Structure 1
Amino acid sequence: MTTILTVPGKESTEESSDKCLVERCQHGDRESFRHLYRRYHSKVRSTLHQLCGASSLDDLEQEVFLRAWKGLPKLKQPAHFSTWLYRISWNVAQDRRQAFAKQREEKRRLIAAILPNSHGDRHPATPTPDLMHLHYQDLVQRGLETLSFDHRTVLVLHDLSDLPQKQVAEIVGVPVGTVKSRLFHARSAMRKFLQTQGVQL
């Protein structure tokens, strides 16, 4: 019986590359997909959390990787797997945002039908936790929620996920110049929000 030993730190870069793993997945190798999942699930989860908040995070993450598995046979550029996966994450987040907006509108109409004199903006806002008990990360998340989805997306992908502007442009499907513009406005808005909460920048 022959035993193959793998020296720590000496694993073949080629064999463990996204391209190689994707190509194996395209031939039905589920173990290679599990490798890709372990490599990217924390990044995907973090991105989804920053784009959508903590609600239904497990379901959203599952949806991303389910779409990835189903779409892998059609992926023509295996080496660009990470960009493709981030785009799926963005699409899932966008779908979630649209579904949430639809549900909120349906609830508003229902309330208006039951209480003809009621207006959505008259309902008391959800109580805001005392900022002194919030961690900085929670404060950043609240700041992200004040941004438009487009601005939040570029800030999350570029500044928080460390993706280059060119890759962000590919994921979102806009020119690099648009990414730069959105990034500028997103950072400016975030700075203003944090300053209003007493954070010294």
Structure 2
Amino acid sequence: MTDELLVLRCRLGEREALAELVRTWHAPVWTYVRRMLDAERADDVAQEVWLAVLRGLPRLKEPARFAPWLFMIARRAVANRLREEYRLAATAPEPEEGPADAADALVDRAEMLAGLSGLPPAEREILVLFYLQDLPVEDCAEICAIPVGTVKSRLHRARRMLRDQLVQRGFQP
């Protein structure tokens, strides 16, 4: 069943349609949020995303464009969380680091994630959307509210930055 049809069914009040949307899109949304934040915060932000989706579905103008709309909501939720944390960090002492995520135990995966997390948010976001969420450049541009050319230049810069970080850690290009 298409996302468009599920959105239309959700608007008609069908709970099963909403459950199907969540089943289909929860993992991609959580993965996107997880790449932008740590696992602990990702759960909370992903829940905020689904609440925003539930509230916003009646106002979605183009149900066929559900995926870009969903990731725009996720992007906004991540940005709001980071903004709030930066604001709190300016007034609070340095936070202690928690234990490492068990899913990141594999060395190569941990190195890749460390390299990804070391990128500036704009470049990290583009890599996550394009490579990990398999979204086309045009959808990435719409989600980030930037021109397609800017997406392409950020992708180029982000790949170069990630490669440089991995090389510094001893990985071969």
**TM > 0.5:** yes
Q: Of 43, 47, 58, which residue of structure 2 is paired with 1:73?
A: 58
Is residue 2:158 matched to residue 1:186? yes
The equivalent of 1:105 in structure 2 is: 90
More helix as a share of residues: 2
Provide the rounded CA distance (Å) in 1 between the counterparts of 2:42 and 2:26. 12
Provide the rounded CA distance (Å) in 2 between the counterparts of 1:100 and 1:182. 25
Quote the sequence identity (%).
36
Provide the rounded CA distance (Å) in 1 between the counterparts of 2:114 and 2:135. 22
Provide the rounded CA distance (Å) in 1 between the counterparts of 2:157 and 2:47. 32
CA contact (8 A) 1:52 1:96 kept: no
The equivalent of 2:130 in structure 1 is: 158
The equivalent of 1:149 in structure 2 is: 121
The equivalent of 1:170 in structure 2 is: 142
Stretches of structure 2 that go unaligned for 5 or more consecutive residues are none
Per-residue deviation at 1:65? 0.7
Greater RCO between the two (CA within 8 Å, min separation 6)? Answer: 2
Number of positions where the alignment pairs a residue of Structure 1 with one of Structure 2: 169
Output one character per residue of 1:102-160: Cα deviation in whole Å (capped at 9) or x when no partner: 1211115xxxxxxxxxxx7xx9x969x8xxx7522222221122111111111110022
Q: Of 107, 110, 133, which residue of structure 2 is paired with 1:135?
A: 107
Output one character per residue of 1:7-63: Cα deviation in whole Å (capped at 9) or x when no partner: xxxxxxxxx111111001111112101000000111011101001122322211111
Amino acid aligned to 2:57: L
Provide the rounded CA distance (Å) in 2 between the counterparts of 1:195 and 1:96. 31
Provide the rounded CA distance (Å) in 2 between the counterparts of 1:199 and 1:93. 30
Amino acid aligned to 1:55: E
The equivalent of 2:45 in structure 1 is: 60
The equivalent of 1:92 in structure 2 is: 77
Provide the rounded CA distance (Å) in 2 between the counterparts of 1:93 and 1:140. 21
Q: Structure 1 length as normaliser, TM-score?
A: 0.78
Secondary structure, aligned partner of 1:87:
helix
CA contact (8 A) 1:144 1:152 kept: yes
Q: Which has the larger radius of gyration?
A: 1
Amino acid aligned to 2:117: E
The equivalent of 1:116 in structure 2 is: none
Q: Structure 2 length as normaliser, TM-score?
A: 0.91
Secondary structure, aligned partner of 1:147:
coil
Amino acid aligned to 2:151: V
Provide the rounded CA distance (Å) in 1 between the counterparts of 2:106 and 2:51. 34
CA contact (8 A) 1:53 1:141 kept: no
